[in-house]
Structure 1
Amino acid sequence: MTPSLSTLIFDLGNVVVRWEPHAALPEELSERDVDDFFARTDFFTKNADHDAGKPFGDWISELESSDNPEDAKILKHYVENFRACLTGLIPGTHELLHDLKNAGIRLFGLTNWSAETFHHAEAAVPSFEFFDDILVSGAEGMAKPDPRIFELALSRWDLTPELTGFVDDSIANVEAAESVGLTAHHFTSAKDARSWARDMTRSANV
């Protein structure tokens, strides 16, 4: 029989709290302007570099020397107003974490997030109180789906892979977690995550 999981590690962005980057951009930009900015700067690919530890100042400097130097001002606005892009809790996850904690399940966070902006989330997300610790990729210089960050988490928290579960909204991250021996769940809703967690931890009250 597969042992029940005693520890669960949760991703944060779009699992615990919504991250909607357009909400931190200048208000005068139209929807088309925002889409053009994201495409022109390759925003989501570049942002992953900062999740892995690259300073935003480097990106801003690169944009100041680009064919569209105004993009540097837009990105600077995004960084300075980052709190605005945390647009609320994902429905049901806060309650799930509460119930898991009450059931005696150890909880940790493992997030791809810039170390420069994570303090905004710490101040804004009450759900973080349920975690024993949170590992922030930008502070470690590596990011999911690099298997090394999962190995780091297991080592830092002295966890047994066979007794540990992982929840993330990215298939690539789920597969990377499984590659180091974790039991992983692809997050699509808190309802589905609750059902999975109840089965995996055998906690009747979850």
Structure 2
Amino acid sequence: MINTIVFDLGGVLIDWNPEYLYRKLFTDEAAMKDFLTNITTPDWNEEQDAGRSLEEGTTWLVAQHPQHEANIRAFYGRWEEMLGGPIGGTVKLFKQLKDSGRYKIYALTNWSAETFGIALQRYNFLSWFDGIVVSGTEKMRKPDAAFYQLLLSRYQVQPAQALFIDDNLRNVTAAQNAGMQAVQFTGADYLKTELQRLHIL
């Protein structure tokens, strides 16, 4: 029986997209896509999520691509402009789960420790969690098995009694490997259907 729900944040509860910023900085869509794919790559950003300082990550990348210095520095210098609003349908489901009183609810997020405070100030529903484990603080990240085990041990969660929700299939697979049930988030409607199928809602 499920008694614990574990949410990812970005892409599940919070709309975060670098394109929100870079559409202001590029006039050419293809050039913007190329920059985000090949310069400020997801792998590079995840190093900051895993604990590398924003300054160190930025300095390193500027050294690799000095011709893109201004746009690279904007990534964290104007990072807040990448944040959209809450993903309303998922927040509504979160509130239903919270109000039921039947579940412990945690977040396991890949997020820089230096920027997470901005999210805490902006999204009041983050205070609803029974605990949040932030990769940048712990200096490990999804899909590393140790990051999942940290949450399970810290909050004394039995993996077989936990449901993990993430938009990234890689992270969903890692949660399943840790013994949790898991759902890949593709939208609030699909998530609601899955929660009903599992008799959680």
Same fold (TM over 0.5): yes
Q: For residues 89-148 of structure 1, what are the alpha-carbon distances to aligned partners after superposition, in whole Å with 9 as ceiling and x for unaligned?
A: 223011100000111221111011111111121112232132111111111111111111
On the 8 A contact 2:162/2:180 being kept in 1, the answer is yes
The answer to whether the aligner puts 1:185 opposite 2:144 as a matched pair is no
1:77-96 alignment to 2 at 5 Å?
Answer: 77-96=74-93
Give the distance between the partners of 1:179 and 1:46, measured in 2 at CA.
25
Q: CA RMSD in A?
A: 1.7
The answer to whether the aligner puts 1:24 opposite 2:59 as a matched pair is no
Query: Identity, % of aligned pairs?
Result: 32
Aligned residues: 199
| Structure 1 residue ranges, 4+ long, deviating more than 6 angstroms after superposition | none
SS in 2 for 1:84: helix
Gaps (5+ residues) in structure 1?
none
SS in 1 for 2:143: coil
TM-score, length-scaled by structure 1: 0.89
SS in 2 for 1:167: strand
**Amino acid of the residue matched to residue 61 of structure 1?**
T
TM-score, length-scaled by structure 2: 0.91
* Structure 1 residues 40 and 190, CA gap change in structure 2 (3 angstroms): closer
1:136-147 alignment to 2 at 5 Å?
Answer: 136-147=134-145
Give the distance between the partners of 2:189 and 2:23, measured in 1 at CA.
35
On the 8 A contact 1:16/1:127 being kept in 2, the answer is no
**Amino acid of the residue matched to residue 157 of structure 1?**
Y
Give the distance between the partners of 1:87 and 1:70, measured in 2 at CA.
29
The answer to whether the aligner puts 1:7 opposite 2:4 as a matched pair is yes
Give the distance between the partners of 1:188 and 1:55, measured in 2 at CA.
31
1:165 match: 163
Give the distance between the partners of 1:151 and 1:113, measured in 2 at CA.
17
1:53 match: 51
Q: 1:41 aligns with which of 36, 39, 42?
A: 39
**Amino acid of the residue matched to residue 152 of structure 2?**
L
Gaps (5+ residues) in structure 2?
none
